[in-house]
Amino acid sequence: MEELLDQAKKIAEEAEVFMVSSEATPIQFEANRLKSIQNKRSTSIALRIIRQGKIGYATTTDLNNKQNLVSNAMETAEFGMPAKFKLPSTNSYPNIEIYDHATASLSLEKMIELGESIITQVRNHTSDIMCEADVTKSIISTRIINSNGGQASYQKSIFSLGIEGTLIHDTDMLFVGEDKSSCHPILEPNAITESVLQQLELAKNKASIPSKSLPVVFTPNGVASALLSPLMTAFNGKTVIEGASPIGNKLNQQVFDEKLWLWDDSTIAYRPRSQPCDDEGIPSQRTPLITQGNITSFLYDLQTAALANTQSTGNGGRSGGLPSPSPNAFIINPNSTTFNEMVKDIKEGLIIEQLMGANQGNILGGDFSGNVLLGYKIENGEIIGRIKDTMVSGNIYQVLKKITAIGNENKWVGDLLNAPHIYCPNLSVASK
Selection from 346, 420, 353, 362 nearest residue 394 by Cα: 362
Range in contact with other proteins (rule: CB under 8 A) among 114-122, 267-275, 340-348, 385-393: 385-393
Give the separation between CA 147 and CA 80, rounded to whole angstroms. Answer: 19
Q: Does 10 bind other proteins (CB under 8 A)?
A: no
Q: Out of 168, 187, 191, 269, which residue is the one contacting other proteins (CB under 8 A)?
A: 168
Of residues 81 through 100, those in contact with other proteins by CB under 8 A are 81
Give the separation between CA 109 and CA 48, rounded to whole angstroms. Answer: 42
Give the separation between CA 70 and CA 12, rounded to whole angstroms. Answer: 10
Closer to other proteins by CB, 171 or 309: give it: 171
Binding flags for other proteins, 399-418, as an x/- string (CB under 8 A): --------------------
Q: Is 128 exposed, middle or buried (0-12, 13-18, 19+ CB in 10 A)?
A: exposed
Closer to other proteins by CB, 191 or 251: give it: 251
Q: Out of 8, 176, 391, 396, which residue is the one contacting other proteins (CB under 8 A)?
A: 391
The minimum distance between CB 373 and other proteins, in angstroms, equals: 6
With the C-alpha atoms ordered 271, 272, 273, 277, is the resulting torsion angle positive or negative? Answer: positive
Closer to other proteins by CB, 173 or 269: give it: 173
Starting at the edge strand found earlier in the chain, the sheet holding 411-413 runs 294-295, 286-291, 262-265, 330-332, 417-419, 411-413
Q: Out of 94, 173, 191, 198, which residue is the one contacting other proteins (CB under 8 A)?
A: 173
Give the separation between CA 22 and CA 156, rounded to whole angstroms. Answer: 9
The minimum distance between CB 132 and other proteins, in angstroms, equals: 10
Give every CB contact of residue 170 below 8 A, 6+ residues apart in sequence. none
Closer to other proteins by CB, 31 or 95: give it: 31
Q: Does 175 bind other proteins (CB under 8 A)?
A: yes
Q: Out of 189, 220, 314, 370, which residue is the one contacting other proteins (CB under 8 A)?
A: 370
Q: Out of 2, 3, 170, 188, which residue is the one contacting other proteins (CB under 8 A)?
A: 170
Q: Does 113 bind other proteins (CB under 8 A)?
A: no
Q: Dmax of the chain from CA atoms?
A: 73
Q: Does 221 bind other proteins (CB under 8 A)?
A: no
Of residues 291 through 330, those in contact with other proteins by CB under 8 A are 320-322, 324
HSE-CB for 411 with a 13 A CA cutoff: 22
With the C-alpha atoms ordered 354, 266, 2, 23, is the resulting torsion angle positive or negative? Answer: negative
The minimum distance between CB 263 and other proteins, in angstroms, equals: 25
Q: Does 20 bind other proteins (CB under 8 A)?
A: no
Rounded (5°) CA angle 26-27-33: 155
Do 359 and 368 touch, CB atoms closer than 8 A? yes
Give the separation between CA 8 and CA 77, rounded to whole angstroms. Answer: 12
Q: Does 61 bind other proteins (CB under 8 A)?
A: yes
Q: Out of 39, 95, 127, 319, which residue is the one contacting other proteins (CB under 8 A)?
A: 39
Q: Out of 94, 149, 210, 357, which residue is the one contacting other proteins (CB under 8 A)?
A: 357
Of residues 134 through 153, those in contact with other proteins by CB under 8 A are none
Range in contact with other proteins (rule: CB under 8 A) among 57-65, 140-148, 197-205, 339-347: 57-65
Give the separation between CA 142 and CA 47, rounded to whole angstroms. Answer: 14
CB atoms within 10 A of CB 136: 18
Q: Out of 392, 396, 403, 406, which residue is the one contacting other proteins (CB under 8 A)?
A: 392
Selection from 189, 198, 204, 199 nearest residue 119 by Cα: 189
The minimum distance between CB 402 and other proteins, in angstroms, equals: 16
Q: Does 78 bind other proteins (CB under 8 A)?
A: yes
Closer to other proteins by CB, 35 or 347: give it: 35
Q: Does 205 bind other proteins (CB under 8 A)?
A: no
